[in-house]
Structure 1
Amino acid sequence: MSAPTDRANSGTGVHSPTRARISARTLRNDRWWLPPLLTTLGLATFVIYAGVRSYVRAAYWVEDYHYLTPFYSPCVSASCVPGSSHFGVWFGHLPVIIPLGFLVLPFLLGFRLTCYYYRKAYYRSVWFSPPACAVAEPHAKYTGETRLPLIIQNAHRYFFYFAVIVSLINTYDAIMAFHGKGGGFGFGLGNVILLVNVILLWAYTLSCHSCRHITGGRLKHFSAHPVRYWIWTQVSKLNTRHMALAWTTLATLAITDFYVMLVASGTLSDLRFVN
């Protein structure tokens, strides 16, 4: 048993004077550090890729088939290439430090960062609060989500509404992409990728804990609200897959953007089924 330290006497978390004073960080002998490490690598890979792609301003729009990468949607400034502004031009030319998808990127980032699953993921892998079960966190004090920066997590329900709007925008983009070379209806591999991406994005958005509360929260008697109860049960089924959808949509977003980039740059020809 180690001697008491100033940190142990002054802490309010696991280092509180009322907690057992164990010098070892953990008594676990398994590879408890592996899941947090893989989570960090996975999230970092997506953040780096998405960050780079959001700023390059190249190969994000395929004129022939109206493919628009979700990282640049909606593109509503004069800096956007002709044809990519599905909702018109609202702003003039933007400086290079502002991504063309700036209108929704902060809200999407806020929605992901405050998501209940991602909280668990990066609390353990980045914030180390705690890094794993039965592993002491390195913080001397614990304030939960009552102070900055973690108090921002309480805004998750508001970010959810913006996420619904963004999903509607992505759905519109996917519909607009049924465009053939030279005009008219067209259908290709890019359409399949865009559709799969938007369907999974809807599944991830609607499986959100906030959506579950909106549909069935504060109901004292489900029998008196059969429609809301049915919706709540469907959202609850999706909610059990929220973690899988969180990771899957990161992958589909990157795949969709990468495919559009390859076609837009001429590296790859879109496989066409119709026109």
Structure 2
Amino acid sequence: MSAAPTVTPSGSGVFARTRARITARTLRTDRWWLPPLLTTLGLAAFVGYATVRSFVRTAYWVPEYHYLTPFYSPCVSASCVPGSSHFGVWVGELPMWIPLGFVVLPFLLGFRLTCYYYRKAYYRSVWLSPPACAVAEPHTSYSGETRLPLIIQNTHRYFFYFALVVTLVNSYDAITAFHGASGGFGFGLGNLVLLINVTLLWGYTLSCHSCRHIVGGRLKNFSAHPVRYWYWTQISKLNTRHMALAWTTLGTLALTDFYVMLVASDTISDLRFID
């Protein structure tokens, strides 16, 4: 007969008094650490790239075709290059430590940071809470999202409305970009890049859990609200792809900015279909 398991005198979770003491961090033999590692690397790569590009203030506008990178939209200061201020100039020159996209970047950051999927992603990969199923986390206590700073996560529903406005701005930028080098209508590879990016951004924004709740979450009788119920079912289908869209849009944002940077810096020429 095996000996009775020993217990820890204090703690919570897998370290609670009623749980057996296991000296090994986990009994899993697979590479459970790989998903958290890849998530951390992916998030770090995007944050690093986006931070650098948001502050360099170069190669973000292609005047011939009206391509504007989403990292600088809307550009509303006197520091913006001529033509890139689609919504006018609201403020004067900005110091270098303020990004030209300062109007929306805080709200986009807040929307992404408080997103339900991204919470799961960085809770597990960065804070290791928990890093994987059946793997003990290093924290000895857990208060959830009821105290500072994590109680701020509950503002996600409000950031959603700002995200809608920003996506509308990006849509306007994509439409404005149908501009030829000699004026009038134009269509090039850059337009496809911008359109794909904004389409996926709409998918990510509308697939948000807050959007699903706003559309039909409070309804108690679906049959009395057939239109809202139809929208709720469509958003629910889109919501199942929220994680994929969260990652895809990080990639398309970086790709769109990178393409505009290459064209704006004359590193490559935009492939034109109609000019």
Both structures adopt the same fold (TM-score exceeding 0.5): yes
2:255 alignment partner in structure 1:
255
2:164 alignment partner in structure 1:
164
Alignment of 1:86-125 (within 5 A): 86-125=86-125
CA contact (8 A) 1:14 1:140 kept: no
Cα RMSD for the two superposed structures: 1.2
Q: Aligned to 1:52, what secondary structure does the other structure show?
A: helix
CA contact (8 A) 1:2 1:23 kept: no
| 1:221 to 2:221 alignment | yes
Within 1, Cα distance between the matches of 2:149 and 2:6? Answer: 33
Unpaired runs of at least 5, structure 2: none
Alignment of 1:140-151 (within 5 A): 140-151=140-151
2:24 alignment partner in structure 1:
24
1:127 alignment partner in structure 2:
127
Equivalenced residues, count:
271
Within 2, Cα distance between the matches of 1:139 and 1:94? Answer: 42
Within 2, Cα distance between the matches of 1:21 and 1:153? Answer: 34
1:192 alignment partner in structure 2:
192
Alignment of 1:220-239 (within 5 A): 220-239=220-239
Q: Give the CA deviation at 1:3.
A: 7.3
Q: Aligned to 2:273, what secondary structure does the other structure show?
A: strand
Within 2, Cα distance between the matches of 1:74 and 1:113? Answer: 21
Within 1, Cα distance between the matches of 2:190 and 2:221? Answer: 46
Within 2, Cα distance between the matches of 1:23 and 1:42? Answer: 31
Within 2, Cα distance between the matches of 1:125 and 1:108? Answer: 21
Q: Aligned to 1:145, what secondary structure does the other structure show?
A: coil
**Structure 1 length as normaliser, TM-score?**
0.96
Q: Give the CA deviation at 1:120.
A: 1.1
Within 1, Cα distance between the matches of 2:136 and 2:46? Answer: 28
Q: Give the CA deviation at 1:177.
A: 0.4
Q: Give the CA deviation at 1:48.
A: 0.4
Q: Give the CA deviation at 1:264.
A: 0.2
Q: Give the CA deviation at 1:119.
A: 1.0
CA contact (8 A) 1:94 1:100 kept: yes
Q: Aligned to 1:273, what secondary structure does the other structure show?
A: strand
Runs of 4+ in 1 over 6 A off after TM superposition: none
CA contact (8 A) 1:76 1:89 kept: yes
Deviation string for 1:60-87 (max 9, x for gaps)? 0000000000000000000000000000
Of all paired residues, the percent bearing the same amino acid is 81
Amino acid in structure 2 at the alignment position of 1:270: D
1:76 alignment partner in structure 2:
76
Within 2, Cα distance between the matches of 1:37 and 1:75? Answer: 35
Alignment of 1:3-42 (within 5 A): 4=8, 9=10, 11-42=11-42
Unpaired runs of at least 5, structure 1: none
Label 1:24 to 1:2 Cα distance change in 2 as closer, same or farther (>3 A): farther
Within 2, Cα distance between the matches of 1:214 and 1:230? Answer: 13
**Structure 2 length as normaliser, TM-score?**
0.96
Amino acid in structure 1 at the alignment position of 2:254: A
Within 1, Cα distance between the matches of 2:37 and 2:191? Answer: 35
Q: Give the CA deviation at 1:153.
A: 1.1
Within 2, Cα distance between the matches of 1:146 and 1:251? Answer: 32
Q: Give the CA deviation at 1:37.
A: 0.4
Deviation string for 1:70-127 (max 9, x for gaps)? 0000000000000000000001111101100011111111111111111111111001
CA contact (8 A) 2:7 2:19 kept: no
Q: Aligned to 1:82, what secondary structure does the other structure show?
A: coil
Q: Give the CA deviation at 1:29.
A: 0.9
Within 1, Cα distance between the matches of 2:120 and 2:82? Answer: 42
Q: Give the CA deviation at 1:249.
A: 0.4
Amino acid in structure 2 at the alignment position of 1:231: Y
